[in-house]
Chains A and B, each alone.
Chain A
Amino acid sequence: MSLVCTNITFAYNGTRVLHQVSLDVPKGSFCALLGRNGSGKTTLLHCLCGILHPESGEIMVDNNPVHLVNGTARAKCISLVPQESDQIFPFTVLDLVLMGRNPHLSRFAMPGAEDEKSAWQALELLGAAHLAKRRVNQISGGERQLATVARALAQQAPVMLLDEPTNHLDFHNQYHLLYQIRKLCRDQNLTVLASMHNPNAVAAAADRVVLLEAGHAAAQGDAESVLTQKQLSRLYGMPLVESRLTGGQKHFMPVMEFRR
């Protein structure tokens, strides 16, 4: 299902953070949200999944207005993988993933066999089934992120939002995670919007890109056309050099003398 949001406006204590942001993520595509720190990426994601309430704007998932429905119905459409958060209680990975089934449970219901099956399936899709009985505080950061993605997957929401998913991950885990998400887009027709920091990883993994500059959607479109040296230099406020790798993928480096 596609995700379309139109004219989202949001202010924190009188300070306007998002100015009429509109974006369009087609079904089954991996859309990356690029922007500097403080440009409003997390705010936008929180507005989309209902944690924050924008002053104005519409959010449609496959032409259904999710900005008007209650929390449970919205959670069935949109799932969120937040930035790394501290776990107070050392749940098992399976228990954590099982929590993703909550939107499908009535108020007093407990997860049943069907829900357990969904949870296992989610873990298997990500190749993380071996982590099921381990406790979240005893696994690595990368494995924890994978578990959180599995939870969002178990929610069976057609749209998944990821907030800086590769922040605390090492080189291997960053690309491993992006690869898994890409696979989900392809195989499960999952619509993904992920806020990212690294244009090179975006160039490798994403179909579409949205550039967020100080709360404005400065540019959006498919990755090839948006990821240009001119756009990114302006976005990040520093001169960049664009090159192309042997596989055809674009690559960007800042113009800085590291070795003098």
Chain B
Amino acid sequence: MSDQKTLWILGAILVLLFFLSLFTGQMHISFADAAGWIRDWIAQDSLAPSPKSLVFFDVRLPRSLTAVLGGTGLAVSGAVYQGLFRNPLVSPDILGVSAGCAFGAALGLILPGSPFGIVRALSFAFGLSAVGLAAGIARAVAVRPVLVLILAGLVVTSMFNALLMVLKYTADPYSQLPAIVFWVMGSMHRCSWADVRLIAPVILMGLTLVHLLRFKLNILSLGEVQATSLGLNPRRYRIFFISISSLMVAVIVSACGQIGWIGLVIPHMARTLSGPDHRVMIPVTALMGGAFLLAADLAARSLTAAELPVSILTAMAGGPLFAYLLYQNRARGWI
């Protein structure tokens, strides 16, 4: 199947899922309702909002947009990291972004009397500082940059996880602890237009830049020696790509909590579908990531009357899917 066709089909699936998510939920909203609102909007009749229109425009629409943006951002970040670190088992959490974000959010949830925005801000700040710390450690060690970066990321991740455990220990078991646990499991049920306004610029900018530079990822994946001989400055590109990806992941995790497996599995699925050439693989990864998280979120809010944390669904789908891909690709020489 040609690459163009693959992209069109994936794009169509994404759009279809998006519309499906807009019309699925506990409140029954039909196409006729939506058509009516659009008609009113075109005719510039400012009608008072009804519960259904509020659900549609203020609950479902921002939530679905967040899911698409989040899935895209996480998947592409994963693809970038796998290319940069020349390791198909790497995920965007490897430098400690998620662990730092989780710690920051827990801190915000524990601080007495903090408004909701503080949780997001602290989460974002600590996520980025985790990456900064890992980069700093790697720079200080200054040998074999790629390997040391991964090890520094491990150090920073375990440090923030330990700090998170301390926070859980001191948290009030009736209110703060369950709130922390639920936040860490990841969910998009709190998302509103404020979140979309924060996330969209970062993700769109990040996606655009990665898309424009996707050919360079091919070359970077050959290793430092060969990339330099082909005219690239690997260190500069590494700093750039890590910064962009960390920004994207931090902004997503601080809004939605930790959502696992997307950064790891989706790039593999994309490679299985259309090969490792990043010129095709990056757009395919982006579309698949958006569709995957959208589908998972749809299930999270529709399977039961209460909300399931979306990480459960991405893990339950992602794990077996990854095993299946490993099996499928055993002859192709990925491993």
Contact = CB atoms under 8 A, between A and B. Distances in A.
Do A's and B's CB atoms come within 8 Å in the complex? yes
Interface of A: 46, 49-51, 71-72, 74-76, 78-80, 82, 85, 87-92, 95, 99-100, 102-103, 105, 107-111, 135, 137-138, 155
B78 to A, nearest CB: 14
Contact of A107 (B213, B218, B224): B213
Interface of B: 83, 86-88, 212-213, 215-216, 218-219, 221-226, 228-233, 271, 275-277, 279, 332-334
Nearest to A71: B231
Contacts of B221: 88-89
Contacts of B86: 88
B162 to A, nearest CB: 32
A216 to B, nearest CB: 24
Given A95-B277, A137-B333, A138-B333, A85 B229 contact: no
Cβ-closest 10 pairs across A and B: A75-B231, A89-B276, A80-B229, A137-B333, A103-B231, A72-B231, A108-B212, A88-B86, A51-B228, A102-B230
Given A90-B332, A108-B212, A108-B213, A100 B230 contact: yes
B88 A99 contact: no
Given A99-B218, A107-B213, A108-B213, A135 B229 contact: no
29 contacts: A49-B229, A51-B225, A71-B228, A71-B231, A75-B230, A80-B225, A82-B229, A85-B223, A85-B225, A88-B86, A88-B221, A89-B221, A89-B271, A89-B276, A90-B275, A90-B332, A90-B333, A91-B277, A92-B277, A95-B218, A95-B277, A99-B222, A100-B230, A102-B215, A102-B230, A102-B232, A105-B215, A110-B215, A137-B332
Nearest to A83: B225
Given A49-B228, A155-B230, 15 more contacts: A51-B225, A51-B228, A74-B231, A80-B226, A82-B225, A82-B229, A85-B222, A85-B225, A92-B277, A95-B277, A102-B219, A102-B231, A105-B215, A107-B213, A137-B332
A99 B233 CA distance: 15
A53 to B, nearest CB: 11
A82 B226 contact: yes
A137 B329 CA distance: 13
Nearest to B278: A89
Contacts of B334: 90
A105 B231 CA distance: 10
B275 A92 contact: yes
Residue in B215, B219, B223, B334 with the greatest tally of chain A CB atoms within 10 Å: B215
Contacts of B333: 90, 135, 137-138
A111 B233 CA distance: 19
B155 to A, nearest CB: 24
A137 B276 CA distance: 12
Nearest to B214: A110
Contacts of A51: 224-225, 228-229
A76 to B, nearest CB: 7
A85 B215 CA distance: 20
Contacts of B231: 71-72, 74-76, 102-103
Nearest to A108: B212
A108 B276 CA distance: 19
B215 A111 contact: yes
A90 B229 contact: no
Nearest to A137: B333
Contacts of B276: 89-91
A50 B215 CA distance: 21
Contacts of A103: 230-231
Nearest to B333: A137
B233 A85 contact: no
